[in-house]
């Protein structure tokens, strides 16, 4: 009868365009069942995925079983959380017990983890049905999802363009209404940049706020799991579900869990916001992006924030340092993929040839390139000049930020210098691809919090542009306040223009 009531109610918005908080309200009010909601997202996903290729592994049956279980709990008033029954999807970098997990790599083809990552376990604990596992650049190395070992994902706003990366499957699916929200990971911008080019909200929380346990490692000292949603409120809600101390992760911050929705609507009047001189007119910034970002700055001022220019001299070295630190850690993290204990093995008549062939055949070009780069940066005779110096640059970036936060509460910039570029446009030029992370990378290097929030479509190509807001470590609440105020005043996401015509 739940269903009939749903069908009866007229002016019911299309379920798959409904945000997580609204879905939670409807479930609580028994206006709809989790099974209906979950089925709506599964069907939407099936309808669009042959165009997008966002999914690596849909888990419709698992999702529907969990949805029915959620409905039973709600029927007897035993909801696991306010979001019990609201479905979700995960980047394929999160280990899921009994469900194949590949991190977008052929070397892990067919790998079935015997355990859940902490983020997924907390999702289950909150009663979120799992829609499936989503495409990504292999081992999260990339900014376009073209480096997936299983083929590229397409941007719902322009099927010839990339959805960004490395969490491109997670942003494409949510942008197309295939899931209310999803989890990605951000090592150098891999949540914020794809969210930006898909017209979504993407959060890179403070390093250590969300557990890395069960997240297939790319660069351990930089990896940060983060929410991908259509609204700032949903992002704050999903972070509240996933954040908190985890004894399985030695780098997990021993903080008490917070409700990031608290005071999210307090406004930003009087807030001091810094604009980074070094980023102004950065090489390769698309004019249409600059237009929207300048408007965004004006809007923040209109909302009562005090904007001021700040200088972060070390930021111009962020990319150079990042592309030594991240590959160095990756070269070691990826050593375990050797054909001995799990998944892909190439034949070889001794251990060295077996391992070397397995890795040559199992890894894609970008992964091999970074493993080589990282091995080089750590090798005897080069360590001090490369890895050693890069770690010192990290210290400078952190110092610059600390100094900046003495005079401002938040820092703003574009999330990405350009909107979504065309598939294949940059694959031939790795360095150009790396430079698209220029605004996001320093935040990972310092371990701070950052968010990308939509600020409309670029006038030159009609594709989404994202504003990046950078907060102090563990100051996510201030960050959400500003993002929320901006989003509500812009009103773009709830307008017809806020959805791709797919």
Partner 1 sequence: MGIDRAAVDHIARLARLDLSDAERSRMQTELAQILGHAERIQSLDLDGVEPTSHSIPLSNVTRPDEVGPSLTQEEALQNAPDAEDGRFKVPRIIEDA
Partner 2 sequence: MNVVADKYETTIGLETHVELSTKSKMFCACEVGFAGEPNTRTCPVCLALPGSLPVANEKAIEYTLKIALALNCSIATRSLFHRKNYFYPDMPKNYQISQYDFPLGSKGFLEITGEWGTKRIGINRVHLEEDTGKSTHIGGSGRIADSDYSLEDFNRAGTPLVEIVSEPDIGSAEEARAYVTEMRALLESLDVSDVRMEEGSMRVDANISIALMGAEEFGAKVEVKNMNSIRSVARALEHEEVRQRKALDAGEILIQETRHFDEKNGTTSSLRTKEFAFDYRYFPEPDLVPFEPDPATVESIKSSLPETPAVRRQRFAAEYGLSEYDVGVLTSSRATSQWFEAAATVYAGEAKKIANWITADLFGLLNEAGIELADSKITPAQLAGLVELIDAGTISGKQAKNVLAEMFTSGKDAADIAKDLGLEQVSDEGALETAVDEVIAENADAADKVRAGQLNTIGFLVGQVMKKTKGQANPGIVNDLLKRKLS
Q: Which is nearer to partner 1, 114 or 496 (CB)?
A: 114
- Residue 95 touches which of partner 2, partner 1, none (Cβ within 5-8 Å per kind): partner 2
CA separation for the pair 165, 443 (Å, rounded) = 17
Q: Token pair for residue 42? A: 């599964």
CB of 88 to partner 2, least distance (A): 18
Among residues 142, 182, 185, the alpha carbon closest in space to that of 165 is found at 142
Residues lying near partner 1 in the complex (CB under 8 A) are found at 110-112, 114, 207-208, 221, 247, 250-251, 253, 316-317, 319-321, 323-324, 331, 335, 338-345, 348-357, 359-360, 363, 368-369, 371-373, 375-376, 379, 385-386, 388-396, 398, 430-431, 434, 445-447, 473
Q: Token pair for residue 164? A: 């960004």
- Residue 336 touches which of partner 2, partner 1, none (Cβ within 5-8 Å per kind): partner 2
Among residues 227, 218, 217, the alpha carbon closest in space to that of 183 is found at 227
**If binding is defined by CB under 8 A, does position 392 make contact with partner 2?**
no
CB within 8 Å of 347: residues ≥ 6 apart: 354, 357
Q: Token pair for residue 274? A: 């810094």
CB of 247 to partner 1, least distance (A): 7
| Residue 132 CB burial class (10 angstroms; 0-12, 13-18, ≥19) | buried
Q: Cα separations (Å) of 164 from 148, 287, 438?
A: 12, 19, 14
CA separation for the pair 350, 348 (Å, rounded) = 6
- Residue 328 touches which of partner 2, partner 1, none (Cβ within 5-8 Å per kind): partner 2
312 and 442 in contact (C-beta within 8 Å)?
Answer: yes
- Residue 422 touches which of partner 1, partner 2, none (Cβ within 5-8 Å per kind): none
Question: Would you please indicate which residues are annotated as catalytic (active-site) residues?
Answer: 91, 166, 190
- Residue 213 touches which of partner 2, partner 1, none (Cβ within 5-8 Å per kind): partner 2
CB of 445 to partner 1, least distance (A): 7
- Residue 353 touches which of partner 1, partner 2, none (Cβ within 5-8 Å per kind): partner 1
Q: Which is nearer to partner 2, 75 or 340 (CB)?
A: 340
C-alpha distance across the termini of the chain, in Å:
32
**If binding is defined by CB under 8 A, does position 183 make contact with partner 2?**
no
Of the listed pieces 43-51, 232-240, 262-270, 331-339, which binds partner 2 according to CB under 8 A? 331-339
**If binding is defined by CB under 8 A, does position 297 make contact with partner 2?**
no
CB of 66 to partner 2, least distance (A): 22
Ranges within 106-125 binding partner 2 (CB under 8 A)? 108, 111, 113-115, 117
CA separation for the pair 465, 401 (Å, rounded) = 24
**If binding is defined by CB under 8 A, does position 213 make contact with partner 2?**
yes
Report helix angle 389-404 to 318-333, nearest 10: 130
Question: Residue 309 CB: number of other CB atoms within 10 A?
Answer: 10
Q: Token pair for residue 6? A: 């749903």
Ranges within 351-390 binding partner 2 (CB under 8 A)? 351-352, 355, 375, 378-380, 383, 387
Which residue of 172, 173, 209, 328 would you call a contact of partner 2, by CB under 8 A? 328
* Token pair 């390769």: residue: 284
- Residue 12 touches which of partner 2, partner 1, none (Cβ within 5-8 Å per kind): none
By DSSP bridging, strand 464-471 and strand 410-414 are antiparallel
Measured at the CA of 176, the angle between CA 201 and CA 365, to 5 degrees, comes to 80
Helix (H, G, I), strand (E, B) or coil at 100: coil
**If binding is defined by CB under 8 A, does position 341 make contact with partner 2?**
yes
Q: Which residues bind partner 2 (CB under 8 A)?
A: 94-95, 101, 103, 108, 111, 113-115, 117, 212-217, 219-221, 247-251, 328-329, 331-332, 335-336, 338, 340-342, 351-352, 355, 375, 378-380, 383, 387
């Amino acid at each position: 009868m739940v269903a009939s009531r749903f069908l009866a109610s007229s002016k019911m918005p299309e379920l798959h365009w409904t945000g997580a908080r609204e879905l939670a309200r409807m479930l609580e009010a028994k206006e709809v069942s989790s099974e209906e909601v979950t089925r709506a997202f599964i069907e939407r996903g099936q309808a669009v995925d042959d165009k997008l290729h966002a999914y690596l592994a849909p888990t419709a049956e698992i999702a529907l079983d969990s949805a029915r279980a959620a409905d039973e709990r709600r029927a007897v008033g035993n909801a696991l959380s306010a979001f019990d029954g609201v479905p979700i999807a995960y980047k394929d970098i999160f280990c899921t017990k009994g469900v194949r997990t590949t991190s977008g790599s052929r070397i892990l083809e067919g790998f079935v983890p015997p355990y859940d990552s902490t983020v997924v376990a907390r999702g289950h604990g909150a009663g979120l049905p799992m829609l499936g596992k989503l495409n990504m650049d292999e081992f999260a190395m990339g900014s376009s999802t073209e480096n997936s070992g299983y083929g590229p994902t397409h941007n719902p706003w322009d099927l010839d363009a990339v959805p960004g990366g490395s969490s491109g499957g997670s942003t494409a699916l949510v942008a197309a209404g295939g899931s209310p929200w999803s989890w990605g990971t951000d090592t150098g911008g891999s949540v914020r940049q794809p969210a930006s080019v898909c017209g979504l909200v993407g959060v890179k929380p403070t390093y250590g706020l969300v557990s890395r346990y069960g997240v297939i490692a790319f660069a351990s000292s930089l990896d940060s799991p983060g929410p991908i949603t259509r609204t700032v409120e949903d992002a704050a809600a999903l972070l509240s579900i996933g954040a908190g101390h985890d004894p399985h992760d030695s780098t997990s911050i021993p903080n008490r869990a917070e409700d990031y929705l608290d005071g999210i609507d307090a406004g930003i009047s009087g807030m001091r916001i810094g604009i980074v001189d070094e980023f102004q007119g950065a090489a390769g910034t698309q004019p249409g992006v600059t237009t929207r970002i300048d408007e965004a700055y004006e809007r923040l001022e209109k909302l009562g924030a005090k904007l001021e220019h700040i200088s972060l001299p070390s930021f111009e070295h962020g990319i150079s340092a990042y592309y030594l630190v991240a590959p160095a850690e990756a070269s070691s993290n990826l050593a375990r993929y050797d054909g001995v204990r799990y998944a892909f093995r190439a034949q070889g008549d001794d251990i060295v040839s077996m391992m070397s062939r397995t890795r040559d055949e199992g890894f894609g070009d970008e992964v091999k390139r970074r493993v080589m780069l990282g091995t080089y940066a750590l090798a005897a005779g080069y360590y001090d000049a490369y890895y050693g110096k890069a770690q010192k640059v990290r210290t400078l970036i952190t110092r610059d930020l600390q100094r900046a936060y003495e005079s401002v509460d938040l820092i703003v910039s574009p999330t990405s210098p350009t909107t979504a570029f065309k598939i294949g446009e940059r694959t031939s030029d790795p360095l150009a691809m790396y430079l698209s992370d220029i605004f996001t990378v320093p935040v990972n290097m310092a371990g701070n919090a950052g968010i990308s929030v939509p600020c409309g479509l670029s006038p030159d190509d009609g594709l989404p542009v994202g504003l990046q807001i950078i907060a102090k470590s563990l100051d996510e609440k201030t960050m959400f306040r500003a993002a929320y105020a901006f989003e509500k005043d812009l009103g773009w996401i709830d307008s017809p223009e806020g959805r791709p015509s797919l």
